Amino acid sequence: MVEDMQARTYLFGVVPTLKYLAMSGRVGQVAAGIGDIISIKPVLTIKDGKLDLLERVRTLKKAYARAIELCVEAIDSRPVERLAIVHVRAEEEANKFNAQFQQAVNYSGETLYAELTPGLSVHTGAGLVGASFVVSE
């Protein structure tokens, strides 16, 4: 049952800076510095239990829109069973992201909000906003 649910669970998130990804070694220091100067915002996911840098998008607004697009692609017209909006010290942005998500996928169920703890957010830093959801079979 757990393996079945794991296969139907997705997470996509956006961080406002490459700084913490560079500190964790997931992005080079020079690339992070240049990326922050030209406003590159990473779109993250979890693959095989590990945080993965999926895409780099210019501007935070476009990164949120791309994360929503990736959510829609993953959902693939299946109903969403559960939805959690995750964030790190970014409650206002999380509310906006949730509104965009619900509009894009026509989700009207209960939304759980989860603020990640420092232990979980060490690679992203403050400002992470994303959606974790489970789709029906």
Q: What is the pLDDT of residues 35-77, one digit of tens each?
A: 788 889 999 998 888 888 899 999 999 999 999 999 999 999 9
* Sequence-distant (≥ 6) Cβ neighbours of residue 66 within 8 angstroms: 43, 55, 57
Contact 22, 29 (CB under 8 A): yes
pLDDT-derived band at 32 (thresholds 50, 70, 90) equals confident
What CATH number belongs to 2-135?
Answer: 3.30.1180.10
> What is this structure's pTM?
0.89
**Residue range 4-19: mean pLDDT, rounded:** 92
Each domain of the chain, given as residue ranges in start order, spans 2-135
CA–CA gap between residue 132 and residue 71 (Å, rounded):
9
pLDDT at 93 over 90: yes
CA–CA gap between residue 85 and residue 107 (Å, rounded):
13
Q: What is the pLDDT of residue 100?
A: 94
pLDDT at 119 over 80: no
